[in-house]
């Protein structure tokens, strides 16, 4: 596979601080790549270097085979971006905004088709500043798409959205996959990355602390699950069978067991409870969520 984005040892120093402290990234064509990290971790700095807005202190960067620091119009023809904060074009309707941007490119996409793609057909003649937050973001996506780019940067595309607007935005981003676009997505929402991304990298303190698929990131697939339940009055956790007693990780009214083999231990627990005629109405089995993994990764001192 061909690498669309290739970064080696990227470093950006502001004064005495390394905002980006030597990172490597490799993104292949057609991939949706999610770049996760807390605020101030170096996400936006990295993206702005890849978009050609910022210079770098050190490292090698190639985006679509070109160093973005030397990017020209021909390169920008192939790249689109939805920026973290960008207001609507003042005084222009949805269609006019797209007409303006489409004029910047040599071979733009069809305007009506693009409006349709982001679901703004009913709003095509509405002044862009009058759109709702979610609609405006979809217009941003349309503006990023109008040049028919190969690679699209989406910088926190759903920050501040209500849940239904986020679902719609996700649907639009899923649509980019069908178009065969490569997507570089930055976000601090775990569910967003889990829903959309083929691959995730987590940045904290300017370094990549983990990289993987949503299912395997940070060893998530091999991390322990938790089983929780409340024992009835008069029954202590010391009465559990020894194999379960050995797994007790916490007890604060509710017993918490951690296990690599949840099915086996839930079975044992059920057998024991049924034999004693005990009910465990709040029994709960949980795999570590991506959020658990992420918090563990980003809270570690860098």
Partner 1 sequence: MTTAAARGPVALVLHQARFDLRGFLRNRQARFFTLALPLLFMVIFNGVFGDKVVGPGPMKASAYYVPGIAALGVIAASLVNLVISITAQREGGILKRRRVTPVPAWVLVGGRALTAIGVSLVVVAGLLAFGRVVYGVKLPTSALPGIAFTAIVGSLTFCVLAYALSTVIENEDAAQPTVMAIMLPLYFISGIFIPNINLPTWLGHVASVFPVEHLASGFRHSYVPGAHGVGIVWSDIGVLLIWAAIGVAVALRRFSWLPKAATG
* Binder of partner 1 out of 147, 157, 205, 214 (CB under 8 A): 147
Query: Do residues 138 and 119 touch, judged by C-beta distance below 8 A?
Result: yes
Q: Least separation, in Å, of the C-beta of 47 and partner 1? A: 11
Q: Least separation, in Å, of the C-beta of 118 and partner 1? A: 16
Task: Indicate the residue among 131 and 144 with the shorter CB distance to partner 1.
Answer: 144
Q: Least separation, in Å, of the C-beta of 176 and partner 1? A: 16
Taking CA atoms, 12 is separated from 20, 43, 51, 56, 158, in Å, by 5, 12, 14, 5, 26
**What's 233's DSSP letter?**
T
- Report the alpha-carbon angle 138-144-148, nearest 5: 120
Q: Least separation, in Å, of the C-beta of 98 and partner 1? A: 11
* Binder of partner 1 out of 50, 143, 169, 196 (CB under 8 A): 143
Could you give the string, one character per residue 242-261, with x where binding to partner 1 holds by CB under 8 A and - elsewhere? --------------------
Task: Indicate the residue among 98 and 244 with the shorter CB distance to partner 1.
Answer: 98
Dihedrals phi, psi of 206, to nearest 5 degrees = 80, 5
Number of residues that bind partner 1 (CB under 8 A): 39
- In three-state form (DSSP H/G/I as H, E/B as E, the rest C), the secondary structure along 254-302 is CEEEEECCHHHHHHHHHHHHHHHCCCCCCCEEECCCHHHHHHHHHHCCC
Interacting residues of 157 by C-beta distance below 8 A, sequence separation 6+: 82, 137, 140, 141, 169, 173, 185, 187
Q: State yes or no: residue 53 binds partner 1 (CB under 8 A).
A: yes
Tokens describing residue 227: 């089983």
Could you give the string, one character per residue 94-123, with x where binding to partner 1 holds by CB under 8 A and - elsewhere? --x--xxxxxxxxxx---------------
- In three-state form (DSSP H/G/I as H, E/B as E, the rest C), the secondary structure along 6-69 is EEEEEEEEECCEEEEEEEEEEEECCCEEEEECCCCCCHHHHHHHHCCCCCCCEEEEEECCECHH
Applying the rule CB under 8 A, the residues between 16 and 45 that interact with partner 1 are: 39-41, 43-44
Q: State yes or no: residue 150 binds partner 1 (CB under 8 A).
A: no
Query: Do residues 67 and 61 touch, judged by C-beta distance below 8 A?
Result: yes
Applying the rule CB under 8 A, the residues between 68 and 97 that interact with partner 1 are: 73-74, 76-77, 79-81, 83-87, 89-92, 96
Q: Least separation, in Å, of the C-beta of 177 and partner 1? A: 21
Q: Least separation, in Å, of the C-beta of 249 and partner 1? A: 35
Task: Indicate the residue among 68 and 288 with the shorter CB distance to partner 1.
Answer: 68
Which residues in this chain contact partner 1 in the complex, by CB under 8 A? 39-41, 43-44, 51, 53, 73-74, 76-77, 79-81, 83-87, 89-92, 96, 99-108, 127, 140, 143-144, 147
């Amino acid at each position: 596979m061909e690498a669309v984005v290739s970064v080696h040892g990227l470093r950006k120093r502001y004064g005495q601080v390394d905002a980006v402290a030597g990172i490597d990234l490799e993104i292949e064509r057609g991939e949706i790549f999610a770049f996760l990290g807390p605020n101030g971790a170096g996400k936006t700095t990295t993206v702005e270097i890849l978009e050609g807005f910022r210079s770098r202190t050190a490292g090698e960067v190639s985006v679509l085979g070109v160093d973005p620091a030397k990017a020209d119009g021909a390169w920008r023809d192939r790249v689109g971006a939805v920026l973290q904060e960008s207001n609507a074009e003042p005084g222009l309707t949805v269609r006019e905004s797209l007409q303006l941007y489409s004029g910047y490119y040599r071979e733009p996409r069809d305007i009506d088709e693009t409006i349709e793609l982001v679901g703004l057909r009913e709003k095509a003649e509405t002044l862009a500043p009058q759109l709702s937050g979610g609609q405006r973001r979809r217009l941003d996506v349309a503006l990023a798409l109008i040049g028919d780019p190969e690679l699209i940067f989406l910088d926190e595309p759903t920050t501040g959205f209500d849940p239904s607007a986020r679902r719609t935005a996700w649907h639009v981003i899923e649509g980019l996959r069908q178009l065969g676009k490569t997507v570089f997505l930055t976000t601090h929402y775990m569910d967003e990355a889990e829903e959309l991304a083929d691959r995730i990298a987590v940045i904290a303190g300017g370094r990549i602390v983990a990289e993987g698929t949503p299912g395997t990131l940070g060893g998530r697939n091999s991390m322990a699950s938790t089983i929780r339940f409340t024992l009835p009055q008069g029954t202590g956790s010391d009465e559990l069978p020894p194999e379960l007693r050995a797994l007790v990780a916490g007890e604060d009214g509710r017993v918490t067991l951690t296990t690599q083999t949840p099915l086996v231990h839930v079975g044992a627990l059920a057998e024991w409870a049924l034999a004693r005629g005990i009910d465990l109405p709040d029994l709960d089995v949980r795999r570590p969520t991506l959020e658990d993994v992420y918090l563990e990764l980003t809270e570690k001192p860098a």
